[in-house]
Structure 1
C-alpha cells in the first residue's frame, strides 16, 4: 500500500501559523471559570485571522465558552493548566449538522496545541439538553431516552478543512462524539489524550470521508468506539489513514470502521497499537451500507481483556446495496479474551445483550452473494477462556443453518448470538489465509476451534490449536471447497 501522501503532509507544520502569539487576556477573555467568553474568543479568532494568523494563547485558568469557529491560519494554544470549558447551557452552542464547541468549516492551517485541556462538561450538558427537550423548547427524536448524538455538543467538528493539527492536548468529557474530521485533508493528531466517559456515544476519534490522516502516540479512553472511521456519503472515500503507537480502551470497539460505510475505505495502515479493557472487538471492519473496505493492514497489535478479537463483516443495511470487503492483512497480533465482561466497573458500560451465548469467537462473515475476499492472518495468537457449554445455547456443527444471516442488522461481533466455534467462525468468504495462527482454549469447550461454512480457497496452515478436549474435531467445514486444513 502507498502511504507516501500520509507522511508528506506532516511537512505542513513548518509553514503554518507561527506569525504571532496573542494572549487571551488581550481580548478581555477571563479565566475565572464563570464568565462566558464566547464572543470574546470569537473576536480574538477573527482578529488573528484578519491579521495574518497566529496563536491565541490561553494561560493557566478556566475559560468558559459556547461554540466558537476556528478560522484559517489560527491556532488555539492551551498552556499546561489552561482549561477551555464548555458551557452548561445548550443554547450557547451552534448547530451546523452537528452541535460543537469548536467548529472549523472549509478552513486551512488550523490547529489546537499545548498541554492544556478542552472539557465539554458533557454529563451535565447532556442532562440540560434532555431538560430543554422535555420542556418542548427543542425538537428531538429522543430515542432510548436520550437526545440524538447531533443535538449534544461534540468538542471538535472540522468539516472540509485542510492542514489540521492537534498536538498534546487533552480532550475530556464530551456530551457526544469527542472529535469529528469530516471530508478533511492532511490531518495530524499527535500525542493527544482522550478521556471521555461522560455520556453515551462518546466515540474517541471519528474520521469521516477524510484523506491523509495520521493519529500517533495518543491515548484514547472512551465509552464508545475508540478510533472510528466512517463514510457518510456514497460519493466519498475515507483513505490514506495511518495510526501508530496508540493505546485504546473502549466500552464498545477499539478500532472500528464501517458502521457508516456508504462510500468506502482504502489504504488504511495501523501499527504498534495497544488495546485493553474493551467490551467489544479489538478490530472490527465492516462494509454494511453499500460501500467498500479494501487495502487494510493492521500490524503489531496487543489486546488484553477484550471481549472479542477480530470481526469482519459484509452486510446489506441499504436494500439492494451489498458491501465489499477485500485485501485485508492482519499480522503480529496477540489478543487475550476474558470469560467475564471486559469493561465491568467503567462508567457507561457496554450493554449485556444477545444472551444466552457462550464467549464469541473471532469471525469473518460475508453474505451468500457477497463474499469477503483475500484476508490474511499472519503471526496471530488469540487466547480464549473456553468453558463453552451446550447447555447454554446449543448450535451443533451439523445445524449451521441455525446461525442467522441478518444482512440488515447493526453489525457487531455478538449479532448472531451463539456461534458454533470457540476460536474462529468463517462464513461466505474466499481466499482466506492463516499463516502461523495460534488459538488457545484454556478450559474445555463443546465447540470446535474453527468452523468454515461456504468458504472457497482457504489455506489454514500452519495453524496451532491448543484445546483441553483433544477428542473432538478441531476444524469443521461445510459447503466449502479448495481448503488446506491443519492436521491434529
Structure 2
C-alpha cells in the first residue's frame, strides 16, 4: 500500500478514536494555572487516570501550568487550548534525569497519543540548563561538560520512544534545554501545523526523527539554534523510512534539512517537497552517511533557500571504522533555488554557528564519496544556485593541478560539514568519488569574480550534463575534469 495512504488511513482511524474519547478538564485533578504551583504530580495523576479508564482528552485552558517531567500514556490526548502554556520548572530535579533520555514531555511504548491545540510548551531551557550546570559545578550531579555544557541530562522538550499512532498538531514548542523534540523508533507519526521557536541554548535541534516509519511532517515553522529538521538513525538494525516533509519553513544556526548524524542504520523512501530554508548557517539540504548507514531513494522537490551558507552537501564518511562504510544511492534534487550568503547567514541570532574552518573562500555545493565507495545515481534537475563569488587566491588558494587536487584530504573520520576541507578548488560544485551523475538545467551564478573554476569533477565515473549554465565573471575554466570518465555534455 502507498505510504501516503497508510498515513491517511491511520489519521482517519486515529481521529475516530479521539472523537469518542472522554473529555476531562485539567482543573478536575487540582491542576493549577497560576504559573507558580508545581503541577507535576497532579498532571501525571490525570494522565494515569485517563489511561486506566481507557483513554480520553485532557484539556488545558488559558493559564500557565508549571510542571516537571510528565509521561504520556496510551490513548491519552493532551489538548492545549489557545492561551494555555505548559511551563517547565527551572529546577533540574523536577525532571527524569536518571533516565537515558531526559525530557519535559516523555512517552515510551505508548499507542494512540497526541498533543494538539493552539497552546504552548515552554521548556524554559536556558534557565534549566544553567540549573544543571550549577549542580555539576558544585559536584552534586556528575555529568560530562563540553565547553561548559552538560552533555547528557539536559531535558529535551518532547521525547517519544517506540510509540505508535502519534499526532502533534498546531502547538508551539519553545525554549528547550536540549533537542526540542525527538521521535525515536515511532510508527505512524503525524506532525502538522506546529511552530518551533527554540534558541534558548546549545544543541536545540528543532525536530529529530530517529529510526521512525511512516512519518508526515507538514505545514510547520521551525526556528532553532541547531539543525532545524534532522533525520537520525541510532540503531544499526533500524532505519528511518517512508517519510514525507511538505510545506515547511526552517531557519537554523546549523543545517536546514539534514540526514545524520548519527547514521547507523540509514534512511530510505523520503519525499521532501515544497519547503523553504532561510538565514541558515550551514547547508540548506545535507544528506550524510558517516557511520555505516544506507541512504537510498531520497526525492527533494521545490526547495527554496535564502541567505544560507551552503546549498547542497552529500557525503559518505567513516567516523567509526568498526561499523564500516555506508552507501548513498538514488538521490534526486529538482526545482531548487538557493542564494548563498557572502557573510554569516545567522549573524545576530542568540546562538550563532561558530566561526570556523578559516581561511577559506565561500564553499561550493559538494557531492563527496570515498575511494572505493562512490555516491551513485544522483540527479540534479532545474536547480539554480546564486553565489556571491569573490573568491580570492591571495586569501586562500587551492589550485586544479593534479598535485593540488590529490592534496585534498579524504577526511573520512571527520564530523561531516561542507566546510571541513577549508578551501576547495571550485566555487559552484565540487564532485568527488561519484558514479552516474546527471545535471539537467542546472544554473550556477557568481555575482563577483572568483579565481576558481565553476565545477570540479574528481574521480567521477559517468556524468550527463544537459543545459548547464555557468554564469561567472572570472577567467577560470567552467569545468575541470580530473581522473573522470564518461562525461557527456550537451
TM-score (norm 1): 0.98
Q: Does 1:151 align with 2:156?
A: no
CA RMSD of aligned residues (A): 1.1
- 1:351-370 paired onto structure 2 within 5 Å: 351-370=354-373
Map of 1:296 onto structure 2: 298
* CA apart distance, 1:338: 1.0
2:270 to 240, 245, 268: 268
1:476 to 476, 480, 487: 480
Does the 8 A contact of 1:3 with 1:267 survive in 2?
A: no
Q: Deviations over 1:434-454 (max 9, x none)?
A: 010000010000000000000
Return the alpha-carbon distance in structure 2 between the equivalents of residues 2 and 325 of structure 1. Answer: 23
Return the alpha-carbon distance in structure 2 between the equivalents of residues 37 and 139 of structure 1. Answer: 27
Q: Does 1:286 align with 2:288?
A: yes
Secondary structure of 1:94's counterpart equals coil
Q: Deviations over 1:361-396 (max 9, x none)?
A: 000000001100000000000000000000111110
- 1:341-356 paired onto structure 2 within 5 Å: 341-356=344-359
Q: Deviations over 1:197-219 (max 9, x none)?
A: 00000000000000001100000
Q: Does 1:452 align with 2:453?
A: no
**Which segments of structure 1 move beyond 6 Å, counting only runs of 4 or more?**
none
Map of 1:258 onto structure 2: 260
Gapped regions of structure 2 (runs ≥ 5)? none
Map of 1:76 onto structure 2: 78
Map of 2:375 onto structure 1: 372
Return the alpha-carbon distance in structure 1 between the equivalents of residues 379 and 303 of structure 2. Answer: 15
* CA apart distance, 1:13: 2.5
Return the alpha-carbon distance in structure 1 between the equivalents of residues 330 and 8 of structure 2. Answer: 22
Map of 1:25 onto structure 2: 27
Return the alpha-carbon distance in structure 2 between the equivalents of residues 78 and 156 of structure 1. Answer: 15
TM-score (norm 2): 0.97
Q: Deviations over 1:222-257 (max 9, x none)?
A: 000000000001000100010000000000000001
* CA apart distance, 1:484: 1.4
Map of 1:116 onto structure 2: 119
Map of 2:59 onto structure 1: 57
Return the alpha-carbon distance in structure 1 between the equivalents of residues 3 and 328 of structure 2. Answer: 20
Map of 2:249 onto structure 1: 247
Return the alpha-carbon distance in structure 1 between the equivalents of residues 3 and 296 of structure 2. Answer: 14
Bigger shift: 172-181 or 90-99?
90-99
- 1:392-471 paired onto structure 2 within 5 Å: 392-398=395-401, 399-469=404-474, 471=475
* CA apart distance, 1:7: 4.0
Does the 8 A contact of 1:17 with 1:74 survive in 2?
A: no
* CA apart distance, 1:16: 2.8
Return the alpha-carbon distance in structure 2 between the equivalents of residues 262 and 332 of structure 1. Answer: 30
Does the 8 A contact of 1:262 with 1:289 survive in 2?
A: yes
Return the alpha-carbon distance in structure 1 between the equivalents of residues 75 and 431 of structure 2. Answer: 50
Secondary structure of 1:151's counterpart equals coil
Does the 8 A contact of 1:440 with 1:465 survive in 2?
A: yes
Does the 8 A contact of 1:6 with 1:242 survive in 2?
A: no
* CA apart distance, 1:179: 0.4
Q: Deviations over 1:409-431 (max 9, x none)?
A: 00011111110000000000100
* CA apart distance, 1:472: 2.4
Q: Deviations over 1:63-103 (max 9, x none)?
A: 00001110111111111001000110000001421110111
Map of 1:326 onto structure 2: 329
Return the alpha-carbon distance in structure 2 between the equivalents of residues 383 and 93 of structure 1. Answer: 46
Does the 8 A contact of 1:307 with 1:342 survive in 2?
A: yes
Q: Does 1:132 align with 2:135?
A: yes
Q: Deviations over 1:274-328 (max 9, x none)?
A: 1110000000000110011100001001110011000000001111510100100
